Amino acid sequence: MVTIENEKLKAVISPKGAELQSLVNKETGIEYMWGGDAAHWSKHSPVLFPIVGTLKNDTYFYKDEVYHLSRHGFARERVFLKDQVSMEEAVFTLTQDADTLAVYPFAFVLKLRYQLADDKLAVIYEVCNSGYDELLFSVGAHPAFAVPMVDGTDYADYFLQFNTIETLSRWKLEDGLIANHAVPLPAENGKLALQHQLFYEDAIVLKNMQSNQITIGCTKHAHGIHFHFDDFPFFGIWAAKDADFVCLEPWCGIADGVDHNQQLKDKEGIINLPANANWQRSWTVECF
């Protein structure tokens, strides 16, 4: 495990999957991350790469070859090289090897950079095309935040507040694939009350929303988080059935549609990075 900390926050990251395991407010003692109870879901904050979501039949085609990848790709199960840059910053790196090339025929460098500043944690995704051909990929975040955060409160005491008032549509999932229709998401004045049954039909999937910040707040205390993200065209909100967490998931990429032709080049949201080019996105969680 790698630990970074400053006067206000302490974060613990595992080299396996470069996965954030813990984020604690040192002043209040609040643990903001889900504990990973295997009875519900054993992950904390998996890195989604080189795909986000589910492929149709777990299969894609590229240059007339057939490849198979499980949901969300392989990065979350791989051990990253770690580099403790400072007390407040750590970097984790993953590159291709024989195992990845067997299922994903691309050269790449994926870096996860964790940086603390005051009461904020920034998580930065950096992708480099280290090959001589195009690099087709998706990247997504999947952090699970503990709800409830404070003893004496219940899941239903919490809510999500979007920073832009807009009409939100939930794209339904059919066996993990994006359906051809969406339904309204009941977020009155940008506020979505958290209820376990919201996730009984899998994740809430949003496309191209205007909001770039979601706050997890509570009606019974003043603690929570501001979750800030930019330039992610898709967003997922999810929890395992009746589990005490909510995942806020900014995505550059999305699951296949039910009618997708399974050609990687045609995948919705796929990023095409030229040789020797670099790509970056980030999200920030502000703890209060």
Which ranges in the chain belong to alpha helices (H)? 98-103
- Model confidence at 85, pLDDT cuts 50, 70, 90, reads confident
Assess contact for 170 and 199: CB atoms under 8 A: no
**Distance between CA atoms of residues 87 and 282, nearest Å:** 20
Q: What proportion of the chain, given as a percentage, has pLDDT over 90? A: 98
Domain assignments of the chain as residue spans, ordered by start? 2-287
Residues 6+ apart with CB under 8 A from 160: 187, 191, 192, 194, 214, 215, 216, 217, 237, 246
- Is the pLDDT at 84 greater than 90? The verdict is no
| φ and ψ at residue 265, rounded to 5 degrees | -60, -30
Class for the domain spanning 2-287: mainly beta
- Is the pLDDT at 134 greater than 90? The verdict is yes
Residues 6+ apart with CB under 8 A from 55: 68, 69, 71, 255, 256, 262
Q: Is the pTM of this model over 0.75?
A: yes
Q: Name which of 145, 122, 121 is nearest 35 in CA terms.
A: 145
- Is the pLDDT at 25 greater than 90? The verdict is yes
Peptide bond into 50 cis (omega under 30): yes
- Identify the three-state secondary structure at position 117: strand
- Model confidence at 42, pLDDT cuts 50, 70, 90, reads very high
